[in-house]
Amino acid sequence: MRSDQSLKTNMRNETKVKQLFTTKELALAGMFAAVLAVISQISIPLPTGVPITIQIFGVALVGIILGWRLGMLATVVYILLGAVGLPIFSGFRGGINIILGLTGGYIWGWVFMVFLCGLKPKTGNKTINTFLMFLLPVLGTIVDEIIGGLQWAALSGDISIYGVFTYSMVAFVPKDILLTILAVIIGVPVRKAVQKLI
């Protein structure tokens, strides 16, 4: 009798280990992938071919609310759906050519950004935790800008890396850092509510 019960317990434990995400978590990741798809359509086209968007806000928000694990899942799902052709990238575009094009680095760079946004500091010091809660997402934004800028410079042919980063510092970086900070301010209270659901 005891051996049967312990066998059932072991089987349940093994099932829990194998199941990386619960049904609720998968549903949340899918929902936030859809949020990214909606936010991606808000953009201002520029002659350079790289539009001004608020996608950074969406990515930061996803990471902060869902944490790094679920946030990365939602972001990767969004990127893969766009890569296979669904028109969910900015300007209702889709396809692998977008990932491999001028703006592609900014898109796949989100995986690194959402990871940093999703980290929850646990230093034991409230002041340091609050500081890191803002610093890590901002670092994630900078990493994304670097990845995106390098791919843009490599593929444009007529703009140097220096030119790309100078332009980015004026057109994108200040706006993206402000959007990231706004995402932290909005996302932290929402994360507490979402964690109760999970």
Q: What's the mean pLDDT in 136-141?
A: 97
146 close to 173: Cβ distance less than 8 angstroms: no
Q: What's the mean pLDDT in 68-87?
A: 96
pTM: 0.82
- Cα 30 to Cα 171: distance, rounded to the nearest angstrom: 31
Encoded tokens for 40 = 């991606």
131 close to 124: Cβ distance less than 8 angstroms: no
118 close to 137: Cβ distance less than 8 angstroms: no
Look at residue 155 and tell me whether its pLDDT is greater than 60. Answer: yes
pLDDT at 1: 47
pLDDT at 17: 44
Q: What's the mean pLDDT in 173-187?
A: 94
pLDDT at 188: 93
For the stretch 9-44, pLDDT in tens is 555 555 554 578 888 899 999 999 999 999 988 877
Q: What's the mean pLDDT in 151-174?
A: 84
Look at residue 174 and tell me whether its pLDDT is greater than 70. Answer: yes
- Cα 179 to Cα 181: distance, rounded to the nearest angstrom: 5
126-156 and 173-197 are packed helices; what angle lies between their axes, rounded to 10 degrees? 130
pLDDT at 168: 83
* Dihedral (Cα; 20, 137, 83, 157), 10-degree rounding: -150
Of residues 156 and 49, the one with the higher pLDDT is 156
Q: What's the mean pLDDT in 101-106?
A: 91
- Cα 61 to Cα 165: distance, rounded to the nearest angstrom: 25
Domains of the chain, by residue range, sit at 23-197
Across 146-163, b (16+ Cβ under 10 Å) vs e yields ebbbebbbeeeeebeeee
Q: What's the mean pLDDT in 133-155?
A: 94
Q: How many CB atoms lie within 10 A of CB 114?
A: 32
Encoded tokens for 132 = 């890191």
Instruction: Indicate the class that CATH gives domain 23-197.
Output: mainly alpha
Sequence-separated (6 or more) residues with CB below 8 Å from residue 154: none
171 close to 52: Cβ distance less than 8 angstroms: yes
118 close to 69: Cβ distance less than 8 angstroms: yes
